[in-house]
Chain A
Amino acid sequence: MQAQTNIDNLESQAAHEAHDGLEIEQLKPGQEAWRRLKKDKLAVAGGCILIAVVLVSVLAPIISTHNPNTVVNSNRLLPMGTPGHILGTDHLGRDMLTRLLYGGRISVAIGFTAVGIAMFFGITIGLLAGYYKGFFDTLVMRFIDILMAFPYVLLAIAIIAALGPGLLNAMIAISIVGIPYYARIVRGTVLSLREQEYIEAQKALGASDLRILFKHILPNSLSPIIVAATLDVGWMIIAASGMSFLGLGAQPPTAEWGVMLSDGKDFLRAAPHISLLPGMAIFIVVLSLNLLGDGLRDALDPRLKQ
C-alpha cells in the first residue's frame, strides 16, 4: 500500500513536470486554473449571471406571489410595466415575470440534469472503450458513430416519438443525443493516457483495472470534460426549449421558456413581449454558460499558461 501511495505521488509530480517544465511554485492544478479563471472578466461575468439566474429561479415563490398557471382571461396581453405585472401578462392573463422565473427552474434543471445523464453514460462508454480497445471498442464506437450520423434534432424527435411527448421524455431524448459527444472526447483522451508510463507502472504494480480507470485515468481526463459540459448545458437548454417549442417537451400549462416562446409566436405583432422575454432569458443563460465555458477552457488548458 505504501508503494502504491508513493507511486501516486510520483505520478502526479511527473504529470506536473511534463506539463509545466520546471516550475518552482507548487500550486495544485485546480488552484492554478481558479487563479486564471478569476482574471478572465467575461468568464466571471458569465458565472455571476448564472448564479443569479439559479438563485432567482429557486426563490421564485418568494419573489412572485402569483400562480404561474392560473388563467385570468380578463387580464390577457397586459403590456410590460403594468402595476402588479411588471413584465406584463401572456395571452391567457398569466403573469410573465412569474412564468419566467418558474420557467427558469425547469430550463436550468433540465440543462444540468440532461448533461449529467449524458456525461455519466458518455464517460462510462468512453472510458471502457478507450481502455479495453479491441472488439468492445469497435462495437460500441460504431454504434456511437451511428448516433452521431443522425441530425441531432431529428434523432431527439424520433426518440420522443417513441417515448411519447412530455418534459421527462424530452430530457431523456436530448440526453441520449448528447452521449456520443462525451464518449468521443473521453475515449480520445483515454487512448493517449493509457500509453503513459505512470499507467504502465500501475499495471506493473498490479493495480486493478477499476483502480487505474477511476483513480488515475478519469481525473486526468477531466478538464476537457468540464469544458465540454459547461458549453453543453447551454446547448441542452436550447434543445429542450426547442422540443417544447415543437410541442414535444413540456406540456401546458407548465411554464417553460420554449413553450412560452411558442405561445407568443401567434401574438408577435399584438404583444411581442410574450415571446421576446423567454427568448431573451434563453439567450442570457446560454450566453453566460458559453462565456463561462470559454473561460474554463482557457483556464484549464496548460498550453495557454503564461
Chain B
Amino acid sequence: MRKIAYLLALGLIVLAAAGCGGGGGGAAGGDSSVVIGIQAEPTSLDPAQVTDYNSSRAAMDLYDNLVEFKDGSTELEPGLAADWDISEDGLEYTFYLREDIKFHDGTPFNADAVKFNIDRQIDTEHPFHDTGEFAYSDFTFGMVKEVQVVDEYTVKFILNEPFAPFLGNIAMHSAAMSSPSAIEEHGKDISQNPVGTGPYKFVSWEPGVEVVLEKNQDYWKYEPQIDKLIFRPIVEDQTRLTELESGNIDFIVGILPDDLQRLKDNEDLLVAEQPGMHTWYLALNCQREPFDNVKVRQAANYAINKKDIVDNILMGTGVEAKNILPPVIWSYTEDVQDYSYNPEKAKELLAEAGYEDGIEVDFYIPKSGSGMQQPVSMATAIQSDLEAVGIKTNIQQVEWGTYLDKVFMPLEENDVLMHEMSWMGDNGDPDNFLYILLSSEQWPTAGFNEAFYKNTEVDKILREARTLSDQDKRIEMYEEAQKLIMADSPLIVVDHETQIVAMKNNIKGFELHPTGIFRFGKVTLE
C-alpha cells in the first residue's frame, strides 16, 4: 500500500512539474498594446548604465540621441541635434540642437541638459556622478576632454585627440539624453524612474513581472501608434516560445535554431531577420604554448568545419564567418586568408610546427551567455573536429560571470589557452571590432584583446586609423589590417549571428536594427 502511495506521489510530482510555468495573460482590453517577451529582467532603464540587450531593448524607446542611427543601418542622421560641425583638426564637434523639445517630465531640452548628461558620466566631481555605474562611459566618452555650452541650443565637445568614430559613439545608447531634473530628483533610483524625450513614456516596472511604457502623445518627431508597450522577462526559451504560440504575448526574442522553421511555417506569425553586428570566435592565447606558434593557430583554424556548424547546429541563424569584421560593417573584405575546412592541411601544419604527436589543451566555455548562441553544442562540435587532427581538448564549463572574470585576467595570471567568445558591435565602426579585440593596447584588463595578440604593424595601423577623418584612407587601412590579422589567425571566427525575432502578424512596420536595439516608435497594429 505504501508503495502505491509512493508511486502516486511520484506521478503527482511529475504532473506538478509539467503544470508549472505558463500563466500570464494577454493585453488588457481597450488600449492597444504589444507584449514583448525578453530573455531576462532588465538591470536598469537609465541609458548611461545599460550594459545588456534586455535592458536596452526595454529602455531605448524612452530616449533620443543627438545623432541617431538610420533605420536598419549604422549610417547616421540628425536626432536631437538638427545639425553639427566638425573642426578641421577633428578635435571640436559642435552640435546645433532642436528647439522646443521637452522631456516627459516637462523639463526643457537644451545645451545644459546635454552637458549634464555627459559630465555626469565622465566627471568624477560631478554632483550626480554617484547616481550609477557607467560601464560604457570610458568607451563612449573616454576621448572627451570637455563639453562646453556655447548658448542655449549650441553645445561643443572638445576631444583630447582626433577620434574618427566619435559621431557613432554619440548615437550609442550610453549617449542618450535623460532629464536632468529627474536625475536630481531620483538620484540613484533613476534606473527605476527613467525620463527621456523618446516616443514612449515610462509607466511602471514591477521586478520579475513587467516593464510598462505608454505612448508619448507630444513626441516631437511623429505620433506613436501603440498605446502600451509591455516588456516581460521570460527566462526559458521554450516557455517564451510557447507563450507566443498560444497567443499570450505578441513578440519574442531568443529563438532557438530548431524552432525557426516551425515559426516561419506558422501563418499567424511573422519572423524578422537581420544580419547583426556580431562575431562568434575562439580566442587562442598567442603568448603561450602551443598557440604562440602561428602554424598551430592556423592548423586549428583549418581543422574546424565552420560551414557544418552554421548549417547543422545554428540551422541558418548565423552566416559562416570569413573575417573578424561582420559583413554589415564598412571596410569588410573577403580578400583575406581563407580558412575553409581542410583537415589534411591542418595535420601538415601541426607536423611542421613539431606537434606530430598531438596537443592537449583545456577549452573553456560558458554554459550560456550574451551573444554566445549555442555555446555547448558548438564547442562539442569544435572539440570533435580538433580531435580529428590531433588536438585533444578538455572542455571546462564555467558560469558566465566567473567565466568573464577568468578570460579577462591580465596575462601573468591568465592560464586560459583557448576559449570561446563573441563580440557585438556598438557604434558600427570597424575600429569597434579591430582595435578593441586585436590591438595590443587592449590586452586585458585595459580592453578585450583576450587572445593577447600583438603584431606591431597591426597595432600601428589600428592606432592611426582611429584618428583619421578621411574615410577612404581608413577603409584602405582597415582592409590591410584585416589581411594581416587573418594571416596570423589569433581568433578563429566561426559565424556572424543573424538577429531573429518573431511576432504576431498584426504587428506592422517593425524593422530590426543592426545595434540590436528595438524601435517601436513607428510600429502600428492592425
Minimal beta-carbon separation of A90 from chain B (angstroms): 9
Within 8 A of A (CB), among B1-53: 2-3, 6, 10
Q: Which residue of A lies closest to B399 (CB)?
A: A247
Contact in complex: B380, A71 (CB < 8 Å): yes
Interface string of A232-276 (1 = CB under 8 A from B): 000000000000001110011100000000010111111100000
Within 8 A of A (CB), among B380-395: 380-381, 383-385, 394-395
Instruction: Answer whether A252 and B3 are a contact pair too, CB < 8 Å, given A165-B398, A266-B256.
Output: no
Give the CA-CA distance A164 to B313 in the complex, in Å. 28
| B379 part of interface (Cβ distance < 8 Å) | yes
| B308 part of interface (Cβ distance < 8 Å) | yes
Interface of A, secondary structure class, is loop
Instruction: Answer whether A253 and B395 are a contact pair too, CB < 8 Å, given A263-B377, A291-B3.
Output: yes
Minimal beta-carbon separation of B118 from chain A (angstroms): 40
In the complex, which residues of chain A have a beta carbon less than 8 angstroms from the beta carbon of B2?
Answer: 294
Quick check: which of A4-12, A20-28, A72-80, A126-134 contacts chain B, the rest being far away? Answer: A72-80
Q: Which residue of A lies closest to B387 (CB)?
A: A69
In the complex, which residues of chain B have a beta carbon less than 8 angstroms from the beta carbon of A281?
Answer: none
| B376 part of interface (Cβ distance < 8 Å) | yes
| B75 part of interface (Cβ distance < 8 Å) | no
Minimal beta-carbon separation of B71 from chain A (angstroms): 32
Contact in complex: B384, A71 (CB < 8 Å): yes
Within 8 A of B (CB), among A284-298: 287, 290-291, 294
Minimal beta-carbon separation of B407 from chain A (angstroms): 15
| B262 part of interface (Cβ distance < 8 Å) | yes
Give the CA-CA distance A210 to B238 in the complex, in Å. 58
| B360 part of interface (Cβ distance < 8 Å) | no
In the complex, which residues of chain A have a beta carbon less than 8 angstroms from the beta carbon of B188?
Answer: none
In the complex, which residues of chain B have a beta carbon less than 8 angstroms from the beta carbon of A248?
Answer: 397
| B312 part of interface (Cβ distance < 8 Å) | yes
Contact in complex: B258, A77 (CB < 8 Å): yes
In the complex, which residues of chain A have a beta carbon less than 8 angstroms from the beta carbon of B3?
Answer: 42, 291, 294
Give the CA-CA distance A160 to B383 in the complex, in Å. 24
Contact in complex: B259, A269 (CB < 8 Å): yes
Instruction: Answer whether A251 and B312 are a contact pair too, CB < 8 Å, given A73-B381, A290-B6.
Output: no
Contact in complex: A263, B397 (CB < 8 Å): no
| A199 part of interface (Cβ distance < 8 Å) | no
| B367 part of interface (Cβ distance < 8 Å) | yes
Contact in complex: B384, A70 (CB < 8 Å): yes
| B241 part of interface (Cβ distance < 8 Å) | yes
Minimal beta-carbon separation of B35 from chain A (angstroms): 21
Of the candidates B6, B256, B313, B398, the one whose C-beta lies within 8 Å of that of A73 is B313
| B151 part of interface (Cβ distance < 8 Å) | no
In the complex, which residues of chain B have a beta carbon less than 8 angstroms from the beta carbon of A263?
Answer: 376-377
Contact in complex: A91, B397 (CB < 8 Å): no
In the complex, which residues of chain A have a beta carbon less than 8 angstroms from the beta carbon of B10?
Answer: 287
Interface string of B305-316 (1 = CB under 8 A from A): 000110111000
Within 8 A of B (CB), among A80-137: 91-93
Contact in complex: B238, A268 (CB < 8 Å): yes
Within 8 A of A (CB), among B296-347: 308-309, 311-313
Q: Which residue of A lies closest to B385 (CB)?
A: A71
| B237 part of interface (Cβ distance < 8 Å) | yes
Minimal beta-carbon separation of A179 from chain B (angstroms): 26
Contact in complex: B308, A253 (CB < 8 Å): no
Contact in complex: B380, A74 (CB < 8 Å): no
Give the CA-CA distance A263 to B312 in the complex, in Å. 15
| B160 part of interface (Cβ distance < 8 Å) | no
Minimal beta-carbon separation of A244 from chain B (angstroms): 10
Minimal beta-carbon separation of B361 from chain A (angstroms): 14
In the complex, which residues of chain B have a beta carbon less than 8 angstroms from the beta carbon of A267?
Answer: 256, 258
Give the CA-CA distance A164 to B364 in the complex, in Å. 12
Interface string of B232-256 (1 = CB under 8 A from A): 0000011001000000000000001
Within 8 A of B (CB), among A50-76: 69-71, 73-74, 76
Q: Which residue of A lies closest to B2 (CB)?
A: A294
Contact in complex: A247, B6 (CB < 8 Å): no
Contact in complex: A165, B396 (CB < 8 Å): yes
In the complex, which residues of chain A have a beta carbon less than 8 angstroms from the beta carbon of B313?
Answer: 73, 76, 91-92
Instruction: Answer whether A251 and B262 are a contact pair too, CB < 8 Å, given A73-B312, A91-B313.
Output: no
Contact in complex: A253, B384 (CB < 8 Å): yes
Contact in complex: B259, A252 (CB < 8 Å): no
Contact in complex: A92, B380 (CB < 8 Å): yes
Of the candidates A165, A246, A269, A291, the one whose C-beta lies within 8 Å of that of B241 is A269
In the complex, which residues of chain B have a beta carbon less than 8 angstroms from the beta carbon of A77?
Answer: 258
Give the CA-CA distance A263 to B395 in the complex, in Å. 15
With A76-B313, A269-B259 given, name 4 new contacts (CB 8 A).
Answer: A69-B384, A73-B313, A252-B376, A270-B262
Q: Which residues of A contact B (CB under 8 A)?
A: 42, 69-71, 73-74, 76-77, 91-93, 164-166, 246-248, 251-253, 263, 265-271, 287, 290-291, 294
Leading 10 A-B pairs by shortest Cβ distance: A73-B312, A71-B384, A270-B258, A247-B367, A247-B397, A252-B380, A251-B395, A252-B395, A73-B308, A71-B381
